Amino acid sequence: MPVDDATAAPHALAPIVSALRAAGCVFAEDEAQLLVAEAPDSEALAEWVDRRMSGMPLEHILGWADFCGERIAVDPGVFVPRRRTELLVHQAVSLLQRDRPLSPTPVVVDLCCGSGAVGTAIARLYPEAELHSADIDPAAVNCARRNVDAVGGRVYQGDLFAALPPGLQGRVRILAVNAPYVPTEAIKTMPPEARLHESRAALDGGDDGLDFHRRVAAEASEWLLPNGHLLIETSGLQSGRTAGIVAGAGFTVRTVHSDELDGTVVVGAPLCGTRPRGFPGRRTPSC
């Protein structure tokens, strides 16, 4: 059971708040209340506070992250879903709702799924979707299964599209991608919470941060329906280059940004019958 309610009294919370604030936690009050509410006993609470003060992400301590208004299980070492990624979910669900008459059971693929947060949130908001999630990291896949199984989806382990069943080729309506996009040299400037406690494979996007965007864009048209969509989360600074990569792979492109979420998503739709620049011999499906 959680720590006794008396422990959560303001005078009891105060030393925890002070300790967390001294350790650099910006939202010390909120975090203290969560730790007190979730800890099974006082001994565990003290240990959790020490872990948080040492820099361990709150979500890894609690075992869950708040994402799109629901709890997503997050194991230690697994990428913690960010609030900005909710924009990716909202855009995907908006497209599914718009295209509902075209596909009563649309196939949704959550690539580089990490904890499975994106796909799980999409499936909760659009239960008709057939969800498939994939990641290369075994720890992420094990974590994702706990979330994705709960909404009736499937999870695969492997490198990008190589993880997916071949039978999905040409059937995907929504390909949602939150691939690593931090430039390699920039990782050392990230907060210790991410740099020290999340898998480097979930952060490192190569020299300019866009290696995975290139790889995904190069193969996406082979997996999408002619009227499907590719959605890639990126940063505001990188959005122009991500959009250029997607356009160069044979997609019409639009970029969506949310000031409220501080999120940016590039949305691509296959150009009918065009040949992507730089990929000779490959053509997008006929529309």
- pLDDT tier, 37 (very low <50, low <70, confident <90, very high otherwise): very high
| pLDDT tens for each residue of 168-188 | 999 999 999 999 999 999 999
Mean pLDDT of the chain: 91
Work out the widest C-alpha separation in the chain, in whole angstroms.
70
| pLDDT tens for each residue of 119-175 | 999 999 999 999 999 999 999 999 999 999 999 999 999 999 999 999 999 999 999
91 near 232, Cβ under 8 Å?
Answer: no
| pLDDT tens for each residue of 203-250 | 999 999 999 999 999 999 999 999 999 999 999 999 999 999 999 999
Distances (CA, A) of 232 to 167, 176, 180: 23, 6, 10
219 near 197, Cβ under 8 Å?
Answer: no
DSSP letters for 136-196:
S-HHHHHHHHHHHGGGT-EEEESSGGGGS-GGGTTTEEEEEE----B-GGGGGGS-HHHHH
Q: What is the DSSP-derived secondary structure letter of residue 5?
A: G
Of 225, 208, 224, which Cα lies nearest the Cα of 216?
224
108 near 96, Cβ under 8 Å?
Answer: yes
Calculate the dihedral angle through the C-alpha atoms of 16, 22, 24, 27, rounding to the nearest 10 degrees.
Answer: 40
In the prediction, which pLDDT does 226 show? 95
pTM for the full predicted model: 0.89
User: Residue type for 57, please?
Assistant: P
